[in-house]
Amino acid sequence: MPYTEDRSTWFAGQGLWSHVPESDWKDWTWQLKNRLTTLEQLERHLTLTPGERAGCLFAKEKLALAITPYFFNLIDRHDPHCPIRKQVIPRGDEMVVSSGEMLDSLGEDEHSPVPGLIHRYPDRVLFLVTDRCAAYCRYCTRSRLVSNAQDYNFHPEYEQALRYIEAHPGIRDVLLSGGDPLLLSDKKLDHLLGRLRAIKHVEFIRIGSRIPVFLPQRITPELAEIFKKHGPVWMSIHVNHPKEATQELKDACERLSFAGVPLGNQSVLLRGVNDDADVMKALVHRLLRMRVRPYYIYQMDLITGGAHFKVDVRKGIEIIRALRGHTTGYAVPQYVIDAPGGGGKVPVNPDYVEQITDDEVVFRNFEGKQFRYPLKAAPVKENAGIVMPAEIHL
Ligand SMILES: *Cc1c(COP(=O)(O)O)cnc(C)c1O
Ligand code: SF4
């Protein structure tokens, strides 16, 4: 069934929790305290499939189960194929480990000079500041360390990491991630951003966070003030499906934007969630309307137990082809594969170029029409009939 975007509505409300005072609902600490974290809690609100039941029982050994009430409301409780449901409710398929899958599929541990810091690209570092998230995505690349279900020895060392960054003048870009950095207290974030800002060679600071999507209540005016104070701070949010683009998310994005935080979005291509050109188109349009520029679509990493989410790369390329030229250029993200073992992000694009020779490049446009662009500038007419002023000698 083609996905049609509903342009008029942005979901807002308390849904199943309409009995809760609005002040609680809007309080991010209330949302965190009232997360659904057990099979029993889930079953109070919806009928799980046998596969989901098995997944929930297994979750504590793999990646914790946690869903904020706010995000849970976005689930269609009568549809086991709901794209929101698939992202956060564990399934038995997670227990199936397939060939090629790895716990540390991006070789991050090998590129970690100090605990919590990954230095893969010469000019930028990934700084993992926490192992906690507001809710847990079943396809998480860092499931080995987030939620601490696997007893992974993760102890980010802020002081050591900051000293490493200070000592390496080649690092101009610091990306705070995790886990979710926005779970840190305002005070801690203020301190961390202040320390990074004080390092002369760090010219670009950004945060990767799914908090605006799982817990938009966390984006308080006070938090926005902190970003304003230490700005420019850029942020990549993580929206996978247009149903996540709610009024609450829109409001949170506005608070960030108005505090001078440029926003990008990263999506992971997931089977049965967003592996469809109509869904992606609806998503990127919604993002633009929230002042968010689609940044990356990731081919899912080779995480253990992720095979049920895997999408054929040709499908991803087809999605990009369906966007480029067919919608606003700003709406088209870059499709990338993070090279297994730690090669970094590599773009995968549709081929528009058919041939390049010394003479010309032959290519096709978004409609499939062929065009040629000559590369050799051969004079066809001496001076093309232009009379040069006498003092110029060619
Ligand atoms: C993704 C990533 C970055 C940032 O890459 P950009 O393409 O600049 O967004 C930096 N370091 C690591 C280890 C990464 O995985
Ligand atoms: S928010 Fe990010 S780090 Fe946390 S579970 Fe989801 S993908 Fe993993």
Model confidence pLDDT, tens digit, residues 245-259: 999 999 999 999 999
For residue 69, give both structure tokens. Answer: 């009430």
- What pLDDT was estimated at residue 24? 97
Whether omega before 242 lies within 30 degrees of 0, making that bond cis, reads: no
* 269 neighbors 311 (Cβ within 8 angstroms): yes
| Average pLDDT of every residue of the chain | 94
Q: Which numbered ligand comes closest to the C-alpha of 125?
A: 1
| Angstrom distance (rounded) from CA 53 to CA 91 | 7
- What pLDDT was estimated at residue 148? 85
- Ligand 1 pocket check for 124: Cβ under 6 Å: yes
The answer, yes or no, to whether residue 225 has pLDDT greater than 90, is yes
Dihedral of the alpha carbons of 299, 37, 35, 47, in degrees to the nearest 10 = 90
The answer, yes or no, to whether residue 388 has pLDDT greater than 80, is no
Pocket test of ligand 2: the residue of 146, 154, 241, 269 to mutate, having most ligand atoms within 8 Å of its CB, is 146
Strand bridging mode 292-299 / 263-269: parallel
Task: Quickly tell me which residue has 């799982």 as its tokens.
Answer: 214
| Structure confidence by residue, pLDDT tens digits, 163-222 | 999 999 999 999 999 899 999 999 999 999 999 999 999 999 999 999 999 999 999 999
Q: Which numbered ligand comes closest to the C-alpha of 342?
A: 1
Q: Would you call 170 exposed, middle or buried from its count of C-beta atoms within 10 A (0-12, 13-18, 19+)?
A: exposed
| Structure confidence by residue, pLDDT tens digits, 85-124 | 999 999 999 999 998 998 999 999 899 999 999 999 999 9
- Ligand 2 binding pocket (C-beta < 6 A) is 133, 136-137, 140, 142, 146, 178-180, 210
DSSP state of 301: P
The answer, yes or no, to whether residue 130 has pLDDT greater than 90, is yes
Task: Quickly tell me which residue has 């209540």 as its tokens.
Answer: 217
- Rounded to a whole number of angstroms, the distance between the first and last alpha carbons of the chain is 65
Q: Tell me the three state secondary structure of residue 318.
A: helix
Q: Closest residue (by CA) to atom 8 of ligand 2? A: 140
Task: Quickly tell me which residue has 């030229």 as its tokens.
Answer: 325
Q: What is the mean pLDDT of residues 218-227?
A: 98
Please give the distance of CA 337 from its chain centroid, rounded to a whole number. Answer: 13
The answer, yes or no, to whether residue 9 has pLDDT greater than 90, is no
Q: Which of 311, 309, 237, 236 is nearest to 277 (CA)?
A: 311
Distance from the CA of 111 to the center of ligand 2, in angstroms? 20
| Structure confidence by residue, pLDDT tens digits, 29-60 | 999 999 999 999 999 999 999 999 999 999 98
- What pLDDT was estimated at residue 70? 97
| Structure confidence by residue, pLDDT tens digits, 357-377 | 999 999 999 999 999 999 988
- Ligand 1 pocket check for 175: Cβ under 6 Å: yes
For residue 198, give both structure tokens. Answer: 């004080």
**Would the pTM of this model clear 0.85, i.e. be above it?**
yes
Catalytic residue from among 136, 137, 190, 296: 137
How many of the other CB atoms lie within 10 Å of CB of 98? Answer: 12
- What pLDDT was estimated at residue 56? 96
